[in-house]
Amino acid sequence: MPTKTQDKSNQIRSFEPYQETPGEEYMGDQMRAHFVGILNGWKKQLMEEVDRTVHHMQDEAANFPDPADRASQEEEFSLELRTRDRERKLIKKIDETLQLIEDNDYGWCESCGVEIGIRRLEARPTATLCIDCKTLAEIKEKQLGS
């Protein structure tokens, strides 16, 4: 049986892969619209999750007399809030990506300027680096971090 996290992951990825037509311009209107749809759907899901968390924390908030129960609840809330904070940052990145699409700057590598590629962008819609530049950045990060 899939876990709650797996279910969410599958929902985020539930879209039809983009089918380019022969001779289609990279990041033309239809392609940009495809990614706007993916990003807006992802953002909507994240916002719904924030609302669910708020309601859950309001409904579940209790002043347990037992310190162990109180500590368990505080730890659960702390983990949820940490997750929501990461999602808040992701929503900000989605908004920045939507702005790139609006400015016609979406889909090209920030570092070298080549096309990032449709499949990479479908896998990671907020990607700003092509796979080669991302790989180099990760190698440099590993070397500096060691």
Nearest Cα to 77, choosing from 50, 49, 56? 56
- Of 62, 60, 122, 57, the C-alpha closest to 83 is 57
pLDDT tens by residue, the chain, 146 residues: 344 444 444 445 578 899 999 999 999 999 999 999 999 999 999 999 888 887 777 777 777 778 888 788 888 888 888 988 999 999 999 999 999 999 999 999 999 999 999 999 999 999 999 999 999 999 999 999 76
What class does CATH assign to 28-106? mainly alpha
Count of Cβ atoms closer than 10 Å to residue 130 Cβ:
21
Asked if 36 and 27 touch (Cβ cutoff 8 Å), the reply is: no
Q: Which two tokens stand for residue 2?
A: 């899939």
Residue 125 neighbours by CB distance under 10 Å: 22
- The ranges assigned to domains in the chain are 28-106, 107-146
